[in-house]
Amino acid sequence: MENSTTSHSKRNRVTFGLGTIGRDMVYSLISMYLMFFLTEIKQLSNNAMWWITGIILVARIFDALNDPVMGVIVDNTRTRFGKFKPWITIGALSSGIFTILIFLDYGVSESLFIPLFAVLYLLWGITYTTNDISYWSMMPSLTTNPHEREEIGSFARICANIGLFAVVAGIVPLTNVLGEKFGSMHNGYLVFAIMVVIIMWVGQAITVLGVIEPNRITKNDSHTSLRDLASAIFKNDQLLVTGISMALFMIGYTTTASFGLYFFKYAYGDEGMYSIFALILGISQIIALAIFPMLSKRIARKIIYRYATILVVVGYVVFFFSPMNMIFIGIAGILLFVGQAFIQILMLMFLADTIEYGQLKLGRRNESVTFSIQPFINKMGGAIASGVVGVTVIISGINDAQIPSDVSQNGLFILKFAMMIFPLICIFAGYLIYKRKYIIDARKYDDIIKQLREKGEIL
């Protein structure tokens, strides 16, 4: 297959991937640790937490529904800087500012903090989406070569996981140190937030200044209307299948990850071990992502997905029945997160391939609209995960607990069920849907590209 970006492929792979380190640090801080910050650092009451949980759920759903609209805006953008980079820049700068504002101590009562939080959280979601959609939809515009996409996507996911696990492994020790230095744990989290925002801004600058977009890989430059938006999503059956499978996976993955700090503080009984556990899992995921391009050249994606799902199932089962022993928990975590790493990159590739499928089927190429499904899914998954976490910490007694022994055995069972069994059901259901409905394999994709070239739709 012809390589459309050979001269710039290595540079683009590096500069595109580096841009997501800070992005995922910011996203991980908000999606995984904001609830912990509100319950453990701000120590909001149960009544306030019910309100906060509802606000997060509604705000993420509202923001997620706006994602495809943002995809249309990006697809219709025409500037001398391209259609992606202006929105990447605007979204990075504004979402970084709102990240910092969320962690500021305003010194107000809970009744005033709740509406203030609602406004800031909603604005954070909208501005982060602006960056997220434009950033990820740039990737399929760089090449139609599937192996190049896998290399770009794998390196980007490696960088994303570096960002994610830098936060996961560093948040406890760094916020403790920063809290002592700046007078309170609240200030510690604020300074930590400022640090990750600066890293995001630097990384996004590398992407904006470093990525060289090909002049065109397609002749399709037509305007996308809101009616076309609905057609691009609902008439692309493979996009819908991928979206549903991806949503179920993200609900499970995000729910498990969001409970990590609670698990080690209240179930395992040693909050400090969380950082060590996270570091081991982070290294495991990065290794899995690094070897994915080599595996995919020798093994069909559907086979990789099958064995990745088996790893996830075994990991959850071992984790649920494991005694509070770090060896068993560590083995379960490695199985679980290595499998999840493979599924993450597979979902990204499945999503990218539906662009050409939709272009052939519908006669229109919609990169940003298609990739708006990814942040939509991430937010819906995050919304449901936040809802599960919020309700669980309240009904299990964790929000009222001062020390681990304050949580009953029944409360710990509720925590483990929500963290492990519910996500397992979601991820396995996503695999079954993919297995029965997804039809784009390597041969099918090559045939799609061949037909598009014959019609002059890909240059």
Give the amino acid at 128: Y
Asked if the structure places residue 454 within a domain, the reply is no
Given a contact cutoff of 8 angstroms between Cβ atoms, the answer to whether 15 and 206 are in contact is yes
Asked if the structure places residue 455 within a domain, the reply is no
Residue-wise pLDDT tens digits, 376-396: 777 777 778 878 988 998 899
Asked if the structure places residue 422 within a domain, the reply is yes
Averaged pLDDT score across all residues of the chain = 86
Residue-wise pLDDT tens digits, 404-414: 888 899 999 99
Residue-wise pLDDT tens digits, 165-217: 889 888 888 999 999 999 999 999 999 999 999 999 999 999 999 988 776 55
Out of 4-13, 86-95, 302-311, 427-436, least confident range: 4-13
How many structural domains comprise the chain? Answer: 1
- Report which of 113, 278, 82, 269 is spatially closest to residue 186, judged by C-alpha positions: 113
The domain that holds 309 is classified in CATH as 1.20.1250.20
CA distance linking residue 390 with residue 49, whole number of Å: 7
**pLDDT band (50, 70, 90) for residue 5:** very low
Beta bridge partners of 218: 458
The predicted pLDDT at position 7 comes to 55
Asked if the structure places residue 446 within a domain, the reply is no
Provide the domain limits for residue 380. 16-439
Asked if the structure places residue 448 within a domain, the reply is no
The predicted pLDDT at position 196 comes to 96
pLDDT higher than threshold 80 for residue 319: yes
Residue 398: Cβ within 10 Å count: 24
Asked if the structure places residue 445 within a domain, the reply is no
φ, ψ (nearest 5 deg) of residue 458? -120, 130
Residue-wise pLDDT tens digits, 15-66: 999 999 999 999 989 987 898 899 889 988 889 988 998 898 888 788 777 7
Residue-wise pLDDT tens digits, 231-264: 777 788 898 899 899 889 989 988 998 888 889 9
The predicted pLDDT at position 89 comes to 95
Given a contact cutoff of 8 angstroms between Cβ atoms, the answer to whether 224 and 76 are in contact is yes
Asked if the structure places residue 4 within a domain, the reply is no
- Report which of 265, 269, 253 is spatially closest to residue 325, judged by C-alpha positions: 269
Burial call 306-335: b when 16+ CB within 10 Å, e when fewer = eebbebbbebbbbbeebeeeeeebbbbbbb
**pLDDT band (50, 70, 90) for residue 226:** low
Average pLDDT over residues 396-423: 90
pLDDT higher than threshold 50 for residue 3: no
The predicted pLDDT at position 355 comes to 84
Residue-wise pLDDT tens digits, 425-439: 999 999 999 999 999
Asked if the structure places residue 11 within a domain, the reply is no
- Report which of 379, 68, 350, 60 is spatially closest to residue 230, judged by C-alpha positions: 68
